[in-house]
Chain A
């Protein structure tokens, strides 16, 4: 069907177009959440309190940034949290078995990278749908972590523990890493040709291939990056918790997908921003911490997160269908 030109783009004033961008919505929600939370508790006006709360979510949020890029490219990866657990478990097991620390860290990182490679192989080389493949690898990675770590926690040496307590200019290290990552990735998505091509692939992969864009290569890089980042996040979580169990980041895929969706990433690919996911991570922290401070049952928190996830995809879909077609 050929569509005739419609005057919508000219009719809407610029500020209105900007206002209905999903990440602006995220920002407004964030402001609203801070205001609401500060009514519950003074704590929420204390930046240090918020920063400390954020360390609980920083690792998941890092992986969520890469997941955002994966979704923009038109795929999905649900295995990130399980990857964190397996990389963390392998690392902890190696150092407990007497492997020198630096080597154990390398083992953890390589494990994460190979998990990304496995996903990439199944999805890109074998052309299987990423949804079902990463459900499979989610179960596999979590299960392997269970084998590696058993039912016990593996203790880590004192010096490795507590990276979340280390401050750089008053900001906990994991938060610093998250912020730097967000900045770098935002630049990659915003101003580099690599980022541009990710948007092109997610918008129309066939047209992208016709324009000479090597979509297989770019997607492979994204899945590898996803694996590596998950491993880094797994190690940071290990350091924060002081020990590793197989249930590290259990269910974390919900938070990751939620951050991407709350940030306005379009579930069918081609749209979304790192800035949106960055803001959504803070929103998630305020909401989650707010519920804890307000003494809500953890049960309610799960429900609220589930509802938020569904509401955010519905909202994002509506916004995009309004501004386009």
Chain B
């Protein structure tokens, strides 16, 4: 039997950074094939290349024995490849039936919309999937699970032979997951192929025939699911790549910097409690979507929690917006630098001094000399490489932009620093500099909450590591006991646990 789809030597670079290296991948007809790997291991990138969202830098794709080009998602659709997005790309104001066919009808702009046939076809597809859904209602207001069903129905409508599901179960209830699996198996039995991306090992085990494991942009292994134990899979996912960044002695003291108890935001996270000490680097691990960023945003007042208490320096505080958080000595380096961090078209200097109005303008008027002194001080201290301090920050490299954001927060002299994926998208050399800076800040007696998806980073830097899974804290691991396995086991969701 020739495989349904073969990807050969796929390599993908983004802005010169290689995220996928020489990957070979085979998908059989009538199988459900899992892609596994840590965040950023390359599994989603491969899926998106197959679905025409990205174009590979090198490599070729063969479908049913014929080499094909997949320049865009529409072409992929025509070839019979459908990617089901995590957040479905639908038209919320149009009906389910319309969403199923839009973009697929032939004919000119004035050609008739065949409502009756469209509705009947949609009903038939929904029946085929065994989903009870009124196809005339608008997409807006459907649950995520139902929206996914519509996307799957769309794949059927265009008679797709390859269906890619990117973490489809993350937002679903256990019951909905059951329905999804039933349908996935039925599609497989019809001879279609499904690529299933998930972090949940139990689901992979339950559903998938084979797994392919990725690490650092390379394919590590492909095997039958029942040939591997959970321990094997986790070992293959994390590999043996740890090189110790620092053996620096911990600066942790017994003084409490911040205490959080019972923090809850329904739908995001529930009952989060922990204590952060001065000089401590506290890691916060977990998979993407586990609620780590939401906790950070709540602590900083961007999307405050509904209940729970926060104590900073022994005093209970109420943080309703970021300025409250800054006032009590918190600082937050957000995950999404472009959207929430930098002011792209403004000077590096303005970016660095954005959070210290009181220092640069004690009576409302900006003191240029003071501002310049503060900014250049940190440009030197953090070794930010730039042509001029008046240069637009958008022209700097990602690492230097991130240093400028860090400089912005260091200038507020924070007691507690929350760093959300601070080294994402940053070159290796600069990364080492960041680790050194984080260590130095802790040594100065600041408390640091470090959110990271990179396990070696957490292991190398943190005194203690908290792990979140599906909105709950699932582990509190001391440095001495920490290992990649320990973190992953706590991070991988268990079916039994209810979502937050």
Which positions in A face B, CB cutoff 8 Å?
A: 1-6, 8-10, 191-194, 196-197, 199-200, 203-204, 206-214, 270-271, 320, 324-325
Contacts and interface: CB of A to CB of B under 8 A. Distances in A.
A29 to B, nearest CB: 24
Contacts of A212: 322-323, 325-326, 355
Given A5-B396, A9-B392, A203-B344, A196 B366 contact: yes
Interface stretch (B128-136, B253-261, B334-342): B334-342
A271 B364 contact: no
Contacts of A320: 345
A324 to B, nearest CB: 5
A214 B321 contact: yes
B365 A3 contact: no
B334 A210 contact: yes
A271 B395 CA distance: 17
A206 B339 contact: yes
A325 B361 CA distance: 30
B269 interface: no
Contacts of A8: 395
Contacts of A209: 302, 321-322
Interface string B384-403: 00011001101111101000
Interface in B153-172: none
Interface residues of B, number: 42
Interface of B: 14-17, 300, 302, 321-323, 325-326, 332, 334, 339-346, 350, 354-355, 357, 360-361, 364-366, 387-388, 391-392, 394-398, 400, 408, 425
A252 B482 CA distance: 68
Contact of B361 (A193, A199, A324): A193
Contact of B354 (A4, A194, A213): A213
A6 B321 contact: no
A325 B396 CA distance: 11
A211 B16 CA distance: 31
A192 B361 CA distance: 7
Contacts of B17: 2
A212 B329 CA distance: 12
A324 B394 contact: yes
A204 B405 CA distance: 14
A209 B301 CA distance: 10
Contact of B340 (A194, A207, A324): A207
A191 B365 contact: yes
Nearest to B354: A211
Contacts of B342: 204, 207
Nearest to B426: A2
A270 B350 CA distance: 13
